[in-house]
Each structure stands twice: as C-alpha cells, then as structure tokens.
C-alpha cells in the first residue's frame, strides 16, 4: 500500500518541519513531494553560504532538525512511514494511514524555547541532565551528550566560548556574515521572514550598543578589547547551571551531521517539555570544523593557533575521549518565555509538489 500525501497533509508536515532551528535562521531546507515520497535536502541557494557553514555542516544539522519534526508530525497525523538518510538527503516514504497517535513531543514543536537572556542557575539538576543525555543515543548510538555543571569547569568553558566569539568578531568574513544574518529592525524581520531578529538575541544593552557601533564602523571590531567581546559568553555561562556538548564518535560525514540534527531536535523538544530552554553556542565547534576538516581555509596563522587551543580546551573540559568530536555546544537553563520569536518562511516557498496532491494508489 502507498499513501499519496494530500495537500493538507503536505502543508502540515512541511509547516511542522519549518519550526526547526537553523544557523542564523537561514532555513536551508528544500522539500520535494512526489506521490507518497517526501525528500528533504539542502537548497543550494540557502546553504553553505557563510564562513561558519563550511561544507554545509551547519545546514545539515538543520536538515536533521527539520526531519525530526516531520517524523513527529507524521506519527501524530497517523501517517505510517519509513525514513532513510543518504548523504545529506532525508527521504520519507508513506505507506498507509493509521489511527493517529499523538507523539509525546508534538505539542512542543511550536513551543520550543531558545532563551539567550541571563537566568537563575538552579536548573537543570543532575537528574534532568541525565534525562536529556539519555535521549541522544535513541537517535544514533554514535552520539552522546556530556553535561558540565561544576562551576570551575563552567568558568573555563565561558572563557573558551568567549575566545571563539572574539575570533568571529575579528575575522572579516565571519563578522560580515553575522551582520548580514541579523534583522536589525522589526520591519526588516517582517519583510525577510528569515535571519535572526535582533530582539531575540536579548543582548545586554551595552553589548547591543557595541554591536551596533561595530556594524556602522566595522574597523572597530579589531580594536574592541577581547575582554569586552567575550564578556557576554563568560557571564551567561557563569550564571547557568549546565553547559552541554553533543559529540560524535564517528567521522563527521553528511549522514552523521543529519543524525546530529535529529538528536539535537529531539533533545531540544524534550527540554521544552521539562520546562528548560536551550541556547546554542556553536561558533566554537564550527570554527573547529573549518580547522580540522578543511585545513583552516580562510583563517590566519594566528587564528588557526587560537582555534587549535579552543578545540583542545573543549575536549579537555568536557572530558571527551580522543575518538569523540565536539559538534554542538549549548547552554541549558530554566525556560523563560521569549519576548519575540524569529519568523519562518511559508512552507510553499520551499516545497515543490511533483505529483497531483490527493491521488491515492497502491
């Protein structure tokens, strides 16, 4: 049996998928629906276009997040399916319609919280961190989540993440990408429906002012004291209860990056259900990807040395074995309802219907 997707089902699945996070909210996914098959892959016009998204690695994580949402929505709609991943493409094949069984995470798709502000550092506790860690190998046994709550180690991580931010700020390409991905006004956010609404960053007034000044006078980015640039990371990490690292024990090929995204999204939605928020801090790990996988192309010699030290300190502080590679670092804390959410593009803008919707066959 096959279950040719109706227009309504396609809309529901794609709209659910689009609630997924992506680096810079670039929304790099492209969906093609042919009868009972939905393919999700990278839109070449919206992925691998920034310095940090080297090789499309960050975009592939977003594809995994999108796919996880689609799978959750499909179960909740009663759409029996199987999923396969080949390279950077995820394929859903729908086989039948069954009584809908609401997935335990479905209600959290639109509620997923990214909290970037300073919060009380009381949560998550050890038991909650272990619950989140247990979610990851359910997706892929090669992945694991390591949590650091010890204040001394968190202070060290704050410095590491702050140093990565300094490199990003001083590197011309990374700084230009950052300025371009931010929607600086509400009007721009409404017009674009992608990028990061400045208000969602919830930056301290001093940091927002500094960023705006450097946007107008980009040459100031190399003159700003490193301590001032890294202060946000250090203070936010010091105040939270837990910093986590999602790592992989296998080669970071395209399939592994998609699996990482699926695990990340399942973890993130589980955290939402626990009343927790996730604050991604991926600059350090993406800089490390460029260094270790792409020989540091685009970095100066000094930047290569600095990123090498960042990688060593990340592995040491999280206690990762030599076989593991840090892929995604995040701050986990008490969930605070966001004042503003970054917008999403309508599902029709990234979806191609290659067959007549509503037809059914066998």
Average pLDDT of every residue of the chain: 91
Report the pLDDT averaged over residues 229-242.
87
* pLDDT at residue 174 greater than cutoff 60: yes
Q: Single out the residue of 327, 314, 334, 290 nearest to residue 159, CA to CA.
A: 314
Cβ contact 160:167 at 8 Å: no
Cβ contact 244:145 at 8 Å: yes
Question: Which domains occur in the chain, in start order?
Answer: 7-110+345-353 (3.40.109.10), 126-334 (3.40.109)
Number of H helices, E strands in the chain: 11, 11
How confident is the model at residue 49, as a pLDDT? 75
How confident is the model at residue 208, as a pLDDT? 86
| Alpha carbons 252 and 327: distance in angstroms, whole number | 9
Q: Find tokens 């049996």 and name the residue.
A: 1
Residue 236: pLDDT band by 50, 70, 90 thresholds? confident
How confident is the model at residue 361, as a pLDDT? 41
Report the pLDDT averaged over residues 14-28.
95
| Alpha carbons 293 and 301: distance in angstroms, whole number | 16
How confident is the model at residue 121, as a pLDDT? 67
What is the arrangement of strands in the sheet containing 325-334, beginning at the earlier edge strand? 143-148, 242-248, 325-334, 276-280
Q: Summarize pLDDT for 285-304 with one digit per residue, the tens.
A: 999 999 999 999 999 999 99
* pLDDT at residue 358 greater than cutoff 60: no
Report the pLDDT averaged over residues 346-354.
93
Q: Find tokens 């529901």 and name the residue.
A: 12
Specify which residues 275 forms β-bridges with.
Answer: none
Cβ neighbours for 111, distance < 8 A, ≥ 6 positions apart: 272
% of the chain residues with pLDDT over 70:
96
Report the pLDDT averaged over residues 266-284.
94
- Burial of 136 (C-beta count, 10 Å sphere; 0-12/13-18/19+): buried
Report the pLDDT averaged over residues 115-124.
73
Angle between helices 151-170 and 226-239 (to 10 degrees): 140
What is the arrangement of strands in the sheet containing 89-97, beginning at the earlier edge strand? 79-86, 89-97, 37-42, 29-34, 351-353
Q: Find tokens 């589980």 and name the residue.
A: 270
pTM here? 0.94
**Is the alpha carbon torsion for 231, 236, 242, 244 positive or negative?**
negative
* pLDDT at residue 91 greater than cutoff 80: yes
């Amino acid at each position: 049996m096959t279950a040719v997707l109706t227009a309504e089902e396609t809309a529901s699945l794609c709209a659910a998928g689009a609630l997924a996070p992506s680096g810079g909210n670039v929304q790099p996914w492209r969906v093609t629906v042919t009868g009972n098959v939905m393919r999700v892959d990278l839109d070449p016009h919206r992925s691998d276009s920034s310095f940090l998204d080297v090789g499309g690695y960050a975009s592939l994580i977003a594809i995994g997040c999108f796919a996880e949402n689609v799978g959750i929505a499909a179960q909740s709609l009663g759409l029996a399916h199987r999923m396969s991943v080949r390279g950077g493409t995820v394929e859903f094949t729908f086989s039948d319609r069954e009584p809908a069984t609401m997935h335990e995470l479905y209600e959290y798709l639109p509620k997923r919280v990214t909290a970037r502000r300073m919060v009380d550092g009381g949560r998550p506790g050890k038991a909650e961190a272990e619950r989140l860690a247990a979610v990851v190998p359910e997706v892929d046994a090669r992945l694991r989540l390591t949590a650091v709550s010890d204040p001394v180690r968190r202070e060290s991580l704050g410095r590491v993440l702050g140093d990565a931010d300094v490199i990003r700020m001083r590197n011309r390409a990374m700084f230009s990408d950052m300025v371009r991905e931010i929607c600086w006004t509400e009007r721009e956010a409404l017009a674009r429906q992608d990028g990061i609404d400045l208000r969602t960053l919830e930056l301290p007034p001093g940091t927002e002012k500094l960023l705006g000044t450097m946007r107008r006078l980009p040459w100031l980015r190399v003159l700003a004291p490193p301590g001032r640039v890294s202060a946000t990371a250090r203070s936010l990490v010091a105040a939270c209860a837990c910093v986590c690292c999602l790592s992989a024990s296998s080669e970071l090929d395209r399939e592994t990056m998609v699996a990482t995204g699926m695990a990340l999204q399942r973890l993130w939605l589980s955290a939402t259900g626990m009343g927790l928020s996730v604050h991604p801090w991926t600059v350090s790990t993406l800089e490390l990807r460029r260094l270790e996988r792409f020989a540091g192309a685009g970095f100066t010699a000094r930047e290569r040395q600095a990123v090498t030290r960042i990688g060593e300190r990340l592995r040491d502080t999280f206690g990762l074995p030599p076989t593991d590679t840090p892929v995604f670092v995040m701050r986990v804390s008490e969930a605070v309802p966001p004042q503003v959410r970054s917008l999403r593009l309508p599902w029709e803008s990234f979806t191609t219907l290659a067959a007549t919707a509503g037809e059914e066959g066998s």
